[in-house]
């Protein structure tokens, strides 16, 4: 295997040079020596080392801890801290970064070597299943393929004939995704989800004897390289065995749980000779298996790749968007129709993709729901919006209430009440400054559970609004049964309010009914002066819409607050 690449961040040149000499003696490659945190961030991105040795105390404005936080969040490179001394506060900051090691200067070579090897081991193996991770899998795949005389195969690539590799031994590469495992995480908790992953990993290692390497790539996805086969059918037989092994029941908290899988299969060198392309092929074939309902295997076909590549890329990008800070919270003002003043905002997520630009929520929110990513994304939106609201209140923009949507997947997750209350407490936001928006259909899915959750929030002081009223069940009885605070009239009513007498009558009835139940009424999607005049005439309480302002990034919304913009 190639030498591990290490970068040294140390502002004392003698120590740095001694350290570099020791590392070279141990067989490591020193890719760079830098002396400041700012330079460390730049060179880490350029050199892409396998490991960084980072001095805690550095000259300049940025210390090693701050530099490490930025490098880990953007590049996920393991870091070992170096220091001669430190106080307790600094030590706690170091621990908060979850470092891969901590070495006190002056160091012994033996301890240095051991710490580095443990760090590299941790970095190459999945901490839950203890299987190799993606980086080690790709490295191992490169090694395996290089032993198969890739140079001569490269010459054969010049021959444009479909059957050119038919007589070569074939190396099967499997991409395995567990179907709908997020249901287990949501209903039984993430710990049980991890138990499923470990159980499946153990079954595969113990039952499939022809594995070269089995790895966990991410989430509920595994990859596998098999020993070379003469016929495709040999690999197909293994795939069917894997489906049978995975589908055997397991017991979690007294429940018998069944798991299925989708498997994509590609062959080296029949389908390709490049590692990246082979993984892409196997992944695309796995998506094809998912599209057929799961619990099956599919072999790589070029047409299947064309169909699923776009969706596959979108999901991959979506999984990385949160840790790459590609999401932003936009704020759409809510305006009091009596005073014309801004009273709060609705928090709305936007995805700024580095290549595609702004991705429509209609495109990625359904995928986030399907994959379960909406839970972590939704929690990030809630925390970000609450924190920003607290900042604006402290700047003098008060009273101010923030409204945040809850999705179906969020609403059914375990301990939802406690999770939201914990965020409010951590941000130190008054509970009555948060309004949670839920839809009619979400409430009606499980009335008993919904009532319990809503009442616990209201006892804590959180406000609850029923979103898109009139588009779902529209049952007047549940407005009396559930302790809502706000009704939001859907924009489909507002859009036709001046042109359709039925819509006009229904909207008036909704406003009057809500007020009789002491509920506040917010009209969504107000775009014309005629719509505004109608809502004012019939004493609607608040509005949102492009007539006043669309959703805005934080800085532009803040400018509205500073200018004191009012609805006239």
295, 262 Cβ separation under 8 angstroms: yes
Which among 256, 288, 313 is the end of a domain?
A: 313
Task: Tell me the β-bridge partners of 250.
Answer: 257
CA distance 349 to 361: 7
Q: Residue 274 carries which DSSP code?
A: S
pLDDT of residue 389 exceeding 90, the answer is yes
- 113 lies in the same domain as 150: no
pLDDT of residue 461 exceeding 90, the answer is yes
- 178 lies in the same domain as 48: no
Q: Is residue 129 part of a domain?
A: no
> What pLDDT, in 10s, does the model give residues 82-107?
887 667 777 778 777 777 887 877 77
3-state SS class at 186:
helix
Q: What radius of gyration, in Å, describes the C-alpha atoms of the chain?
A: 29
Assign residue 237 the CATH number of its domain: 3.30.70.270
pLDDT of residue 157 exceeding 60, the answer is no
pLDDT of residue 126 exceeding 80, the answer is yes
- 305 lies in the same domain as 341: no
Which among 124, 157, 176 is the end of a domain?
A: 124
Look-up: residue for tokens 């800085």? 555
Q: Locate 563 and state its tokens.
A: 């200018």
Q: Is residue 421 part of a domain?
A: yes
Kindly state the helix (H) or strand (E) to which residue 25 belongs, with its residue range: helix 13-25
Q: Is residue 431 part of a domain?
A: yes
CA distance 306 to 478: 47
Of 392-406, 440-454, 495-509, which range is least confident? 440-454
79, 68 Cβ separation under 8 angstroms: yes
- 118 lies in the same domain as 138: no
Assign residue 480 the CATH number of its domain: 3.20.20.450
> What pLDDT, in 10s, does the model give residues 268-316?
988 888 888 899 999 989 988 888 888 899 998 764 444 455 666 788 8
CA distance 90 to 68: 13
Q: Is residue 257 part of a domain?
A: yes
- 116 lies in the same domain as 223: no
The dihedral sign for the CA sequence 356, 357, 360, 366 = positive
CA distance 242 to 263: 9
> What pLDDT, in 10s, does the model give residues 399-419?
789 999 998 888 877 678 888
Phi, psi for 212 (deg, rounded to 5): -80, -45
CA distance 50 to 77: 7
Which among 288, 313, 338 is the end of a domain?
A: 313
pLDDT of residue 154 exceeding 80, the answer is no
- 187 lies in the same domain as 74: no
When divided into structural domains, the chain yields a total of 3
- 305 lies in the same domain as 336: no
Mean pLDDT of 423-434: 94
- 148 lies in the same domain as 203: yes
CA distance 390 to 363: 31
- 461 lies in the same domain as 369: yes
- 108 lies in the same domain as 187: no
**Mean pLDDT highest for which of 269-273, 502-506, 556-560?**
556-560
Assign residue 62 the CATH number of its domain: 3.40.50.2300
- 191 lies in the same domain as 119: no
Q: Is residue 279 part of a domain?
A: yes
* Domain membership of residue 407 as a residue range: 321-562
pLDDT of residue 9 exceeding 70, the answer is yes
């Amino acid at each position: 295997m190639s030498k591990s690449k290490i970068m040294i961040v140390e502002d004392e040149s003698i120590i740095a040079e001694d350290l570099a000499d020791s590392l070279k003696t141990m067989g490591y490659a020193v890719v760079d020596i830098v002396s400041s945190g700012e330079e460390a961030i730049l060179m880490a991105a350029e050199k892409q080392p396998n490991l960084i040795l980072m001095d805690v105390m550095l000259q300049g404005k940025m210390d090693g801890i701050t530099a490490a936080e930025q490098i880990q969040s953007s590049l996920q490179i393991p870091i070992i801290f170096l220091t001669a001394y430190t106080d307790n506060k600094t030590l706690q900051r170091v621990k908060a970064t979850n470092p891969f090691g901590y070495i006190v200067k002056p160091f012994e070579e033996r301890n240095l070597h051991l710490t580095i090897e443990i760090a590299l081991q941790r970095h190459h193996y999945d901490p839950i299943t203890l299987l190799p991770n993606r980086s080690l899998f790709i490295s191992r795949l490169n090694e395996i393929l290089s032993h198969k005389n890739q140079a001569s195969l490269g010459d054969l690539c010049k021959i444009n004939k479909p059957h050119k590799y038919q007589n070569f031994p074939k190396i099967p590469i499997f991409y395995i995704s567990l179907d709908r495992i997020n249901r287990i995480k949501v209903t039984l908790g993430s710990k049980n989800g991890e138990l499923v992953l470990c159980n499946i990993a153990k079954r595969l290692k113990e039952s499939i004897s022809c594995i070269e390497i089995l790895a966990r790539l991410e989430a509920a996805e595994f990859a596998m390289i098999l020993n070379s086969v003469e016929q495709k059918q040999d690999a197909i037989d293994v795939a069917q065995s894997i489906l049978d092994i995975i589908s055997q029941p397991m017991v979690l908290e007294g429940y018998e749980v069944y798991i299925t899988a989708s498997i994509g299969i590609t062959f080296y060198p029949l389908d390709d000779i490049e590692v990246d392309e082979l993984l892409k092929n196997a992944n695309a074939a796995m998506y094809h298996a998912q599209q057929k309902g799961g619990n099956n295997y599919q072999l790589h076909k070029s047409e299947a790749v064309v169909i699923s590549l776009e969706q596959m890329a979108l999901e991959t990008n979506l999984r990385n968007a949160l840790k790459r800070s590609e999401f932003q919270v936009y704020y759409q003002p809510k305006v009091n129709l009596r005073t014309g003043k801004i009273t709060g905002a609705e928090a709305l997520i936007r995805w700024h993709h580095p290549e595609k630009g702004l991705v429509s929520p209609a495109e990625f929110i359904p995928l986030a729901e399907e994959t379960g990513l909406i839970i972590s994304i939704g929690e990030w939106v809630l925390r970000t919006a609450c924190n920003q609201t607290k900042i604006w209140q402290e700047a003098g923009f008060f009273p101010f209430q923030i409204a945040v949507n809850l999705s179906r997947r969020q609403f059914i997750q375990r301990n939802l009440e406690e999770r939201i209350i914990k965020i409010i407490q951590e941000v130190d936001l008054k509970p009555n400054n948060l309004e949670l928006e839920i839809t009619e259909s979400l409430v009606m899915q499980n009335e008993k559970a919904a009532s319990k959750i809503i009442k616990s929030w209201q006892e804590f002081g959180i406000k609850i609004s029923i979103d898109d009223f009139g588009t779902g069940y529209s049952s007047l009885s549940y407005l009396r049964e559930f302790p809502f605070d706000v009704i939001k009239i859907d924009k489909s009513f507002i859009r036709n309010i001046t042109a359709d007498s039925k819509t006009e009558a229904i909207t008036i009835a909704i406003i009057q009914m809500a007020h009789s139940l002491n509920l506040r009424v917010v009209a969504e999607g107000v775009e014309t002066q005629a719509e505004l005049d109608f809502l004012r005439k019939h004493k609607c309480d608040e509005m949102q819409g492009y007539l006043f302002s669309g959703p805005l990034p934080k800085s532009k919304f803040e400018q509205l607050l500073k200018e004191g913009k009012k609805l006239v």
